[in-house]
């Protein structure tokens, strides 16, 4: 019995006889030589079947292998600088081949398919190299998120998904029937995190989040994963310090551990290497000035229209894109107008029309990846805001209660996993960063 190895560890087995288990990705027929590209979930390797070195049955089986056929292969590991694969530079000289199933008519060919076709076949498309690489980066992003938070005193507290009230605005709520009463799928775990900090100091929740986003954009899913850290005795400056360390850790971990996947995705990692603290910070007012300047200078009429904005408006995707072009690193924009943001944000001292909010915008046009703020800690102000935002007091009694018993300044933010993975991978659309995306027009498969 030879040792069964994972392709990612192949370098440690040079010169050894090993067994791998996986699926045929591609095959090149050179007569007496069959080049089998095999993947096992951890990498890709070329397996060479030479007619003279195997039994007639094995050679016959190799020549009839089709894409996605499942196989167990035994052979010796050779170093060969030219060998394609991941990690590249190794190949297997095959001695034994066992076919579990010959796949018939696999619908996804190594050629261009339309996006809708690929999305209908998402259950198969995730096997493709690019998709595999993106989802490996995702898994590492998630690991790095937990690693940093767990290592920096944040306790993981899971928050409910079935909730009685809105957190991020009533227009994107998914309503469900909760035994005859309406309940909503969580848009955020933040409000519950705010209760948890009074028990644990620093907490985070991490889970799926739901928003009935009616717009079809490349940056919005209706179900996405968000990690939300929240900290007691933390103001807006403290929050930005946490965020820049946290995001830098995520990016640097991916650069270190997923270099091969990023290379496969042809990601230019130059920008990512610069992602280290501190990040530049600009106020909303300064950002608005910059945008007005950019708008005045441009000859691009379309851009002029897109960039039209007045004080008080939230930034849209074109604004974020132009702004981030001005910086080498992700940039914090803080102090957004109160009316552009959520009800729970602490006002700027002496400027109630401004909130102590902050978004982190990623460079290269990727835009907002985190949104956060300092929270209102005064019960009377909170009551006033709930009324102004037309939110039902009954649903928020417990949340108001938190301001009665040892209320403290506190802050938190949410980081969208899919936005972050899209940016790190340098791809165009969020739909490729989650195994089974949910969007306005898609709940299948
Ligand atoms: O800015 P948002 O809406 O902030 C909140 O939900 C706060 N309650 C977070 C907090 O302070 N605890 O969302 C936070 C992040 C965004 O920056 C973005 O990365 C992501 O969540 N996000 C989405 N990602 C994919 N699809 C959508 N529809 C998203 N909406 C927000
Ligand atoms: Mg936001």
- Whether residue 440 lies inside any domain: the answer is no
Tell me which of 49, 71, 101 is where a domain ends.
101
- Residue (of 21, 253, 231, 295) closest to 140 by Cα position: 253
Q: Tell me how many domains the chain contains.
A: 2
Phi, psi of 359, deg, nearest 5:
-115, 145
Q: Residue 390 maps to which CATH number? A: 3.30.930.10
* Mean pLDDT, the chain, whole residue set: 96
Given a cut of 90, whether residue 1 has pLDDT beyond it is no
Q: Name residues contacting ligand 1 (CB within 6 A).
A: 167-168, 188, 190, 211, 213, 220-221, 224, 226, 228, 368-372, 412-414, 416, 418-419, 430
| Same domain for 245 and 357 | yes
| Same domain for 175 and 54 | no
Q: Per residue in 272-297, pLDDT tens?
A: 999 999 999 999 999 999 999 999 99
The residue nearest atom 18 of ligand 1, judged by CA position, is 416
**pLDDT for 159:** 98
**pLDDT for 65:** 97
- Whether residue 438 lies inside any domain: the answer is no
**pLDDT for 142:** 98
Q: Ligand 1 atom closest to Cα of 167?
A: 8
Residue pair 40/60 in contact (Cβ under 8 Å)? The answer is no
| Same domain for 149 and 284 | yes
Given a cut of 90, whether residue 170 has pLDDT beyond it is no
- Whether residue 238 lies inside any domain: the answer is yes
Q: Ligand 1 atom closest to Cα of 370?
A: 17
Q: Residue 62 maps to which CATH number? A: 2.40.50.140
Given a cut of 90, whether residue 111 has pLDDT beyond it is no
Q: Per residue in 52-97, pLDDT tens?
A: 999 999 999 999 999 999 999 999 999 999 999 999 999 999 999 9
Instruction: Name the pairing type of β-strands 175-178 and 181-185.
Output: antiparallel
Q: Ligand 1 atom closest to Cα of 228?
A: 12
Given a cut of 90, whether residue 163 has pLDDT beyond it is yes
338-351: average pLDDT? 97
Tell me which of 101, 132, 150 is where a domain ends.
101
- Whether residue 445 lies inside any domain: the answer is no
Q: Ligand 1 test: best mutation among 223, 344, 371, most atoms within 8 Å of CB?
A: 371
Q: Per residue in 287-334, pLDDT tens?
A: 999 999 999 999 999 999 999 999 999 999 999 999 999 999 999 999
| Same domain for 253 and 379 | yes
**pLDDT for 353:** 97
Q: Per residue in 213-235, pLDDT tens?
A: 888 889 999 999 999 999 999 99
- Whether residue 439 lies inside any domain: the answer is no
Tokens of 186: 């969580």
Using CA atoms of 58, 59, 62, 64 in order, give the dihedral in degrees to the nearest 10.
-110
Given a cut of 80, whether residue 42 has pLDDT beyond it is yes
Q: Ligand 1 atom closest to Cα of 414?
A: 9
| Same domain for 78 and 15 | yes
For ligand 2, the distance from its centroid to the CA atom of residue 227, given in whole angstroms, is 13
For ligand 1, the distance from its centroid to the CA atom of residue 210, given in whole angstroms, is 10
| Same domain for 135 and 43 | no
| Same domain for 57 and 161 | no
Instruction: Of 20-24, 217-221, 401-405, give the lowest mean pLDDT range.
Output: 217-221
| Same domain for 238 and 90 | no
Q: Per residue in 381-402, pLDDT tens?
A: 999 999 999 999 999 999 999 9
| pLDDT confidence tier of residue 251, bands split at 50, 70 and 90 | very high
| pLDDT confidence tier of residue 165, bands split at 50, 70 and 90 | confident
| pLDDT confidence tier of residue 197, bands split at 50, 70 and 90 | very high
Percentage of the chain lying above the pLDDT 90 cut: 95
Q: What is the C-alpha to C-alpha distance for residues 315 and 326, in angstroms, rounded to an integer? A: 15
**pLDDT for 292:** 95
**pLDDT for 155:** 98
Tell me which of 101, 131, 151 is where a domain ends.
101
Q: Ligand 1 atom closest to Cα of 420?
A: 19
Q: Per residue in 126-150, pLDDT tens?
A: 999 999 999 999 999 999 999 999 9
Using CA atoms of 66, 71, 74, 77 in order, give the dihedral in degrees to the nearest 10.
60
- Whether residue 117 lies inside any domain: the answer is no
Residue pair 62/33 in contact (Cβ under 8 Å)? The answer is no
Provide the residue range defining the domain that includes 304: 122-432
| Same domain for 67 and 212 | no
- Whether residue 283 lies inside any domain: the answer is yes
| Same domain for 328 and 294 | yes
| Same domain for 208 and 129 | yes
Percentage of the chain lying above the pLDDT 70 cut: 100
- What count of other Cβ atoms lies within 10 Å of the Cβ of residue 129? 17
| Same domain for 164 and 21 | no
Given a cut of 90, whether residue 44 has pLDDT beyond it is yes
Q: Ligand 1 test: best mutation among 416, 429, 439, most atoms within 8 Å of CB?
A: 416
421-435: average pLDDT? 97
- Whether residue 442 lies inside any domain: the answer is no
Given a cut of 90, whether residue 236 has pLDDT beyond it is yes
């Amino acid at each position: 019995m030879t040792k069964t190895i994972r392709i990612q560890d192949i370098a440690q087995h040079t010169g050894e006889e090993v067994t791998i288990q996986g699926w045929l990705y591609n095959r090149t027929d050179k007569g007496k030589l069959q080049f089998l590209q095999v993947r096992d979930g951890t990498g890709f390797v070329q397996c060479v079947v030479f007619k003279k070195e195997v039994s007639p049955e094995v050679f016959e089986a190799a020549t009839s292998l089709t894409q996605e056929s499942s196989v167990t292969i035994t052979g010796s590991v050779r170093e060969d600088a030219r060998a394609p694969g991941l990690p590249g530079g190794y190949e297997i000289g095959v001695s034994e081949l066992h076919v579990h199933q010959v796949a018939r008519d696999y619908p996804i060919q190594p050629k261009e398919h339309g996006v809708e076709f690929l999305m209908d076949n998402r259950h198969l498309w995730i096997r493709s190299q690019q998709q595999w690489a993106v989802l490996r980066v995702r898994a590492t992003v998630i690991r790095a998120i937990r690693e940093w938070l767990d290592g920096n005193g944040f306790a993981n507290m899971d928050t409910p998904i079935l909730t009685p009230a809105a957190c991020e605005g009533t227009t994107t709520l998914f309503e469900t029937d909760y035994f005859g009463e309406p309940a909503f799928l969580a848009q955020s775990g933040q409000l519950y995190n705010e209760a948890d900090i009074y028990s644990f100091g620093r907490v985070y929740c991490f889970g799926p989040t739901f928003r009935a986003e009616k717009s079809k954009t490349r940056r919005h899913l209706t179900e996405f994963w968000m990690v939300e850290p929240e900290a007691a005795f933390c103001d807006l400056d403290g929050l930005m310090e946490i965020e820049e360390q946290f995001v830098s850790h995520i990016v640097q971990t991916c650069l270190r551990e997923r270099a091969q996947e990023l290379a496969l995705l042809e990601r230019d990692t130059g920008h990512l290497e610069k992602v280290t603290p501190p990040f530049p910070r600009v106020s909303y007012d300064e950002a608005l000035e910059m945008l007005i300047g950019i708008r005045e200078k441009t000859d691009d009429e379309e851009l002029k229209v897109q960039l039209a904005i007045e004080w008080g408006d939230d930034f849209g995707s074109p604004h974020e894109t132009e702004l981030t072009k001005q910086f080498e690193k992700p940039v914090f924009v803080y102090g957004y107008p109160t009316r552009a943001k959520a009800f729970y944000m602490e006002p700027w001292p002496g400027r109630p029309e401004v909130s102590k909010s902050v978004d982190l915008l990623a460079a290269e046009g990727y835009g907002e990846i985190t949104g956060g703020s300092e929270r209102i800690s005064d019960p009377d102000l909170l009551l006033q805001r709930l009324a102004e935002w037309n939110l039902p007091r009954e649903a928020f009694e417990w949340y108001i209660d938190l301001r009665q018993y040892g209320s403290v300044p506190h802050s938190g933010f949410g980081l969208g996993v899919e936005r972050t993975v899209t940016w790190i991978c340098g791809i165009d659309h969020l739909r490729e960063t989650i195994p089974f995306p949910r969007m306005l027009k898609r709940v299948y498969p």
